[in-house]
Amino acid sequence: MSAIEQDSNQTASKPAFTQNKDQRRHAVLKRLFVQLGVLPFLLLIAVAVFSLISENFLSLRNLMNVVRQSSYLILVSVAQMFALLTGGFDLSVGTIIALTSVVGATAMAASFNAMPEMVWLAILIGAFAGILAGTAIGAVNGLGVSLFGVSPFMMTLGMASVGFGIALYMTGGTPVYGMPVEFGNIFGFGQILGIPSPVFISILLIVILYILVNSTPLGRYFYAVGGNQKAAELSGINTKRILFIAYTLCGLIAAVAGMLLTARLDTGEANIGASMPLESIAACVIAGVSLRGGVGRIENVVLGALFIGLVQNGMNLARIESYLQTVVIGVLLIIAVIADQVRLKVMASIND
């Protein structure tokens, strides 16, 4: 073979090699998109844009502040994930936070007023009362959806109105004061083992829930019910029980977030948590949790909530008005829903 022929063969082989390389890259991107959804791409865009807008965006102090502020949304988003896994959603998570805050602050203030020398008992009573009230909202949602077959949209929307009305009735629209100073100092602004208390408690709960979802039969049942409820019933799974547990667990986790937020504000507020339903659903969908149920991972939801926190922090640094920030979150949710639909088509094409 002549040198000219060898050169022509090498030249002809290069496009094929390049084409195979492009195909491999395309396959990797497709696999990443199927597993994580649109989150990695949005995260890269957000970091690039806000880093250019503000020099302080990527500073350690600012990032730690983002993690601290996002810990509440992380908990609520993980709570929302359990409802989404079963094929529903919970529009009452904001009300759960508000009712938890009001009931917990009222009980804590009353206990502290009656027993000023027993600070920790008053904190324990208030926290238990608040979390119990929030969990009760979740349990009622679970009963309505599982036992009576009410649509999750109508059930949670109705309970959102009921819980908000109760919170306003209890407070008259005014904040609840009188809680022990130690409650806010430790659980709102303090640290546990050198980690901000809300972050530490969030990490602890996330680890427990991660084990529950990924290493227990109950966790597998959540995915089974959301994937195909009729098939789950035929497999011997008590779907009504699983639905009830999912919404009750959602209420419990959101209630914990409510008490932590109450400690941060140092007051009981009936108006907090209004944006949580939108933000938690957006964080879940951006993180790849399917609105159809049966698909989602806790670690991705944590990243999704952190992404929302990063975007909000970046917009604050850019001095974007809060009203426009709500618009941005809504746009992100729409983009995430569209990406979810595209991802389903990609998954179908891969399976075929």
β-partners of residue 192 are 195
What distance in Å separates the CA atoms of residue 289 and residue 141, rounded to the nearest whole number?
21
**Contact in structure between 78 and 283 (CB atoms under 8 Å):** no
Residue ranges of alpha helices (H) inside the chain are 3-36, 39-53, 60-85, 93-114, 119-146, 152-171, 181-187, 197-215, 217-227, 229-234, 239-265, 276-286, 298-317, 322-351
pLDDT at 26 over 80: no
**Contact in structure between 202 and 71 (CB atoms under 8 Å):** yes
Task: Dump pLDDT digits (tens) for 291-300.
Answer: 889 989 999 9
Cα dihedral 301/304/305/311 (nearest 10): 180
Domain housing 178: 39-343
- 318 in any annotated domain: yes
* Mean pLDDT in residue range 50-67: 90
- 21 in any annotated domain: no
- 1 in any annotated domain: no
CA quadruple 128, 131, 134, 135: dihedral sign = negative
Task: Dump pLDDT digits (tens) for 152-195.
Answer: 999 999 999 999 999 999 999 899 999 999 999 999 999 998 89
pLDDT score recorded for residue 341: 79
- 14 in any annotated domain: no
pLDDT score recorded for residue 346: 76
Q: Predicted confidence band at 343 (pLDDT cuts at 50, 70, 90)? A: confident
pLDDT score recorded for residue 35: 64
- 259 in any annotated domain: yes
Run of H or E including 192: strand 191-192
Domain count, the chain: 1
> Mean pLDDT across the chain, nearest whole number?
90
Task: Dump pLDDT digits (tens) for 33-46.
Answer: 766 667 888 888 88
Run of H or E including 191: strand 191-192
Residue type, 335: I
What distance in Å separates the CA atoms of residue 153 and residue 123, rounded to the nearest whole number?
34
Radius of gyration (Cα) for the chain, nearest Å? Answer: 24
- 181 in any annotated domain: yes
Written as six digits, the tokens of 318 are 């850019």
220: domain CATH number is 1.10.3470
- 25 in any annotated domain: no
Percent of the chain predicted with pLDDT > 90: 69
pTM score: 0.88
pLDDT score recorded for residue 64: 92
pLDDT at 12 over 60: no
Phi, psi of 294 (to 5 degrees): 85, 0
- 17 in any annotated domain: no
